[in-house]
Amino acid sequence: MKKNLTILFLFVSSFIFSQSLSDLVFGGEGSFEVVTWNLQFFPKNNQTTIDSTKLSMLALNADVYALQEINDVDAFQDLANSLEDYMGYIIPNNYNNLKLAYLVHKDVEVISHNSILNSNQYSYNFAGRPPYLIELSFSGLTFYIINIHLKCCGDGILDELDSEDQETRRKAAINAIKYYIDNNLSDKNVLVVGDYNDLIEDDISNNVFQSFLDDSDNYLFADTPILDFPTYLWSYPTWPSHLDHILITNELFDEFNNAYNYVTTINMAQYFSNGFEGYDNCISDHLPVGIRLWPITSNIDDKKIKPKHIKEIINIEGKNVKPSSNQLQFLIYDNGSVEKKITLD
C-alpha cells in the first residue's frame, strides 16, 4: 500500500500541474493505443492550450490521437510540428469549422486517410462533419479508424417523425456508418471513435445506437465499463454524462477480451491544481478516452500492461469527494493500491 505524501508542482504557461506528468502514462511498448479526445474549440486558450496539450500527449505516449473540434488549422499544425515523433492529419475537405484530425506516431504506418459519407445526402445528419477514416499498419496488422463528431444536444427523446430532431439525426448518422462498415470493411479491424454526443445506456425506444447494439455478434462498445466509473470519470463530467465512445468490430473481439487489453477515460483533472476546472479552462470540457490493444501477446511485460487509474477519491472522513486543493485526500486505484495526497495552491 502506497502512503507517501505527494506535493508536486510543474509550471506550464500560467497553469500549475498538481502531479508530475511522468505519472500520466497510457502507451506502452508493443501495444497499440488509440485515444479519442474532443479538444473543444482547439485551442480554446491559445498558446497555453497548445503547450499543455503537447505535454499531455507526450506523457500519454499513445500511438494514435483521434481529435475533434479543431477550430484553428494553423494551431493544430503548430501542435503537430511540436511533436517530433508524430505526424498530423486533418480532414482534407473544408467542412464545418470544427474539424476532425489525427496525430499518428511515426512507428505507425499511415496507408490512407480521407473523409467518408461526405455527399450532400449525409451532410445534414452529420452536422457538416463527415466521418474521417484513416487506414494504419502496426505490427503487421491493418487497422481502420473512423473518427466522428455527431450532432450535439437534444432532449433525450428519439422522434423519428421529426427530421430536425437531434436524436433522429444522430441515429441516421449511426445507421449510415454501420451500413458503410458492413458493406466496405466487413472483415477488417475497425474502430469507430469520437464524440458521439449520446448515451449508450439509453433505453431501446430512445437509443440512437440500437442498430449496433442489436448486432452484438459483430460490434461492441468497448467503453461500456466506463459507465461503472464514478461520474467525474465519465468523458463529459460537467453534465455528467459519458458521450465519447470507442466501438470495435468482431475482428478485434479476441484481442480486446484478453487480460492485457482495456479501455478507460484518462483523468486529466488530477494533473491540475484546481482539478477539472483548471483542465477545462486550459484544454477541454471532455476527458480523453483510450483503448489499448496488444496485437502480439508473446512479448508482453506484465509490469507494463495496465497502468493504475483512480477509481475513487475519499477524504479523511471516508466520504467520496472530487479532486480538490488544500485538503488531505486518499486516492483509491483500480489495482487496489491507495495513495495519500495533498495539493497546495
User: 90-112, pLDDT tens digit by residue?
Assistant: 998 766 779 999 999 999 999 99
pLDDT, tens digit, for every residue of 135-176?
999 999 999 999 999 999 999 999 999 999 999 999 999 999
Residue range 294-335, pLDDT digits in tens:
875 445 454 444 555 666 776 655 567 777 665 667 666 665
Range scoring the smallest mean pLDDT among 178-187, 273-282, 329-338: 329-338
Burial of residue 320 (CB within 10 Å: 0-12, 13-18, 19+) is exposed
Q: Which residues contact 15 (CB under 8 A, 6 or more apart)?
A: 48, 52, 272, 278, 281, 282
40-57 exposure pattern, b = at least 16 Cβ within 10 A, e = fewer: bbbbbbeebbbbbbbbbb
* Residue 278, helix vs strand vs coil: helix
Place of cell 490521437: 65
pLDDT at 255: 78
- φ, ψ of residue 123 in degrees (nearest 5): -55, -45
Instruction: Please state, in angstroms and as integers, the Cα–Cα distance from residue 262 to each residue in 30, 87, 246, 258, 308, following that order.
Output: 15, 25, 11, 9, 12
Between the alpha carbon of residue 134 and those of residues 5, 76, 147, the distances in Å are 44, 18, 8
**Coil, helix or strand at residue 87:** strand
Question: Which is more confident, 230 or 299?
Answer: 230
pLDDT number for residue 256: 80
Determine the pLDDT at residue 28: 82
Q: Which domains does the chain have, with CATH numbers?
A: 26-308 (3.60.10.10)
Q: What is the dihedral of CA 149, 26, 286, 327, to 10 degrees?
A: 170
d(C-alpha 267, C-alpha 282), whole Å = 14
Query: Cα–Cα distance between 107 and 109 in angstroms, integer?
Result: 7
- Is the predicted pLDDT of residue 3 greater than 70, yes or no? no
Mapped onto helix, strand or coil, the DSSP state of residue 227 is helix
Give Rg (Cα) of the chain: 20
Nearest to 295 by CA among 139, 185, 165, 184: 139
Q: Which residue has the cell 486518499?
A: 330
| pLDDT at residue 14 tops 60 | no
Rounded-to-integer distance, Cα 300 and Cα 143, Å = 20
For residues 258 and 301, which has the higher predicted lDDT (pLDDT)? 258
What mean pLDDT is reported for the chain? 85
CA distance 70 to 41: 6
Q: What is the 3-state secondary structure (H, E, C) of 21-49?
A: HHHCCCCCCCCEEEEEEEEEEECCCHHHH
Which helix or strand (DSSP H or E) is residue 89 part of? strand 86-90
Q: Give the number of C-alpha atoms closer than 13 A to the C-alpha of residue 34, restricted to the C-beta side.
A: 30
User: How many angstroms from the chain centroid is the CA of residue 306?
Assistant: 17
Band of pLDDT at residue 203, cut at 50, 70 and 90: very high
